[in-house]
Amino acid sequence: MSVDTTQAPTTHKALLEWVSEVAALTEPDSIYWCDGSQEEYDRLGAELVAAGTAIRLNEDKKKNSYYFASDPDDVARVEDRTFICSQNEADAGPTNNWRDPAEMKATLTELYRGCMHGRTMYVIPFCMGPIDAEDPTFGVEISDSAYVAMSMRIMTRMGKAPLEAMTKGGDRAFVPCLHSVGYPLEPGQADVAWPCNTEKYIVHFPEDRAIWSYGSGYGGNALLGKKCYSLRIASVMARDEGWLAEHMLILKLTSPAGKVYHIAGAFPSACGKTNLAMIEPTLPGWKAETLGDDIAWMRFDEEGYLRAVNPENGFFGVAPGTGESSNPNAMKTINIGNSIFTNVARTLDGDVWWEGMTDEKPAELIDWKGNPWTPASGTKAAHPNSRFTTPMEQAPTLGAEWNDGKGVRIDAILFGGRRATTVPLVTETSDWAHGVFMGATCSSETTAAATGAVGVVRRDPMAMLPFIGYNAGDYIQHWLDMPSLHENAHMPKVFYVNWFRKSADGKFLWPGFGDNSRVLAWIVGRLEGTADAARTPIGYVPTLDAIDRTGIEDEVDDATMAEVLKVDTEEWQRELPLIKEWFTKLGERLPQQLWSDLDQLKAALEA
């Protein structure tokens, strides 16, 4: 098709050329430039309701909110169809799928040819982080999905404002993100409720700073500002420019004495990251504020401190397990409305429900596949990876700094995972390099956020395994190099936490949720030099009475506390060959420093 860009709402030369090129290839019926307005959001929502793709929820239950059910085969990240197409295969490393970039582009070009027949091509300009930042970071997604356009309005600063900012002071660079559901419509062909294709590709070209996605409409594969840009492409940008793009929450913590600390934390999906980001402390006098629940971009300031910015604008949270008891602040945020719910269950009066929302299950529901459901059905009412997409500004715990382009100074970094044994409740590392070792050996039981087996323990360095945009060994080396990238670097202290340790009879030893504030208080005490710890072969662990248990003494007695803090040398010795196996998999680019650290751990356990 011939494309007239004279009516486009921008003069950005490279953007106009790219839009023309994509339109000529994909042949949409029309081109629409998103402005990010409420009117646009409402109109797209009404169109999707009329098409049978969305259901408008009960206004009295969830104001201005929509329900979507995806195709049952399009419900999660497809890691086996996710590619890092670097120029050299070795630069993708052993943990990523690689294809020759020229061959991949040729393959995808043929798939994209005519793929938007019968559809609207949405041009979605967005900014990662505050638009008024000193050096704002832009992207533009082209998609044939109105669901994507609506979701990107929640998840990013999207539309007219970033488009105008892209030409201030000359045309600014942007990451081009091309997406299609891969379901063209020929004249007279009826659409389906959730268009997608059985053939899926989520492809990153790190040297080009470009993302091409085909065949999936699911959030993580289709909202390309999410993991594709904010982590896979941004991690390469961070390596090249001397900063960190990480899968981390950002939490502002104020002590009873009024001292403010900022904590970044890395946890795999469905391991309590959003719960911690929105924590309601059970310890009197402590205040927690949310600055980010998923992504942190950390750069050195002039004085050598790491400052973190949350590049996102919304929550894309795992619904199951989120409830009044586990995360009351998330529920308050969601209940305001203005949200998109995907693959949850619906109540008969037009609301939503998922496992873990309430202690008692509703008598009747419509499950995520559209079938009648009762507690006797024997199936999950909501998909385990069902999601809520909700504006950050609705969170009652939101800290004002979340929208500050300068970011906040990070005092501590937490790594964590879901381990039933071996790993104690909290460990302080001895220095930055030891923290990198602990982060690089981070392990967790797999979750439903990715397709594949659930409950298998896998290594997940810095909770970034699915999101590192280059060789994992080089990524770990970049972490080790960080202190040398500023002449006066002040690195945060590093801690490792595990809320999920279980007793021999399979019960969680630690109450978690709001009581995790007790662990945060101990961490602050370590930052201030006031909290007690015992040196162990794996690092510094709290002494028996170092964590305040006021109010939970019956639930967590001395014996339970000792168990949750225990460093069992035999368990750790069984861990050593697993770490060795992991390091061997990472290959020759793994820094030698980590092998030395492993030898030191082995010697400490044998001492």
- How do the domains of the chain map onto residue ranges? 13-54+78-241, 245-314+400-606, 316-391
Cα separation of 418 and 427, whole Å? 15
Residue 299 annotated as binding site: no
> Residue 538's closest CA among 607, 463, 444, 461?
607
CB atoms within 10 A of CB 32: 15
Catalytic site includes residue 271: yes
- Write the pLDDT tens digit of every residue in 72-104: 999 988 889 999 999 999 999 999 999 999 999
Measured CA distances, 243 to 86, 273, 420, 436 (Å): 20, 22, 33, 15
Contact (Cβ atoms closer than 8 angstroms) between residue 136 and residue 130: yes
294 annotated binding-site participant: yes
Question: In whole angstroms, what is the distance from residue 186 CA to residue 149 CA?
Answer: 23
Q: How much is the pLDDT for 450? A: 62
pLDDT score of 5: 72
- Note the pLDDT tens digit of each residue in 42-60: 999 999 999 999 999 999 9
Q: What is the distance between the alpha carbons of residues 204 and 83, in angstroms, rounded to a whole number?
A: 6
Contacts of 357 (CB under 8 A, 6+ apart): 319, 322, 323, 324, 331
The residues near 454 (Cβ < 8 Å, ≥ 6 apart) are 384, 445, 446, 447, 448
245-314+400-606 CATH choice from 3.65.10.10, 3.40.50.880, 3.30.70.120, 3.90.228.20: 3.90.228.20
Active-site residue, from 85, 196, 271, 442: 271
Q: Which of 398, 402, 426 is nearest to 412 (CA)?
A: 426
247 is in an annotated binding site: yes
Scanning 266-375, the segments in alpha helix (DSSP H) are: 273-277, 328-335
173 is in an annotated binding site: no
Q: Which stretches of the chain drop beneath a pLDDT of 50?
A: none
> What pLDDT is stored for residue 285 in this prediction?
97
Q: Which two structure tokens, joined as six digits, stand for 431?
A: 């220095």
Tell me if 172 is assigned to a ligand binding site: no
The gap between the terminal CA atoms of the chain, to the nearest Å, is 73
Name the amino acid, one letter, at 394.
Q
Cβ-contact 311, 295 below 8 angstroms: yes
Check whether 532 is labelled as a binding-site residue.
Answer: no
For 13-54+78-241, give the CATH class. alpha beta
**153 carries a ligand binding annotation:** no
pLDDT of res. 270: 66
* 275 annotated as belonging to a binding site for a ligand: yes
227 labeled binding residue: yes
pLDDT value, residue 453: 66
Q: Tell me what pLDDT residue 458 has.
A: 84
| Alpha-carbon gap, residue 437 to 590, rounded angstroms | 11
| Cα angle: 239, vertex 241, 245; to 5 degrees | 55
Q: Which CATH architecture has domain 316-391?
A: Beta Complex (2.170)
Q: Is 234 helix (H, G, I), strand (E, B) or coil?
A: helix
The C-alpha atoms of residue 243 and residue 264 are separated, in whole angstroms, by 15
For CA atoms 404, 407, 413, 416, give the dihedral sign: positive
| 144 is annotated as contributing to ligand binding | no
Please indicate if the annotation marks 385 as binding a ligand: yes
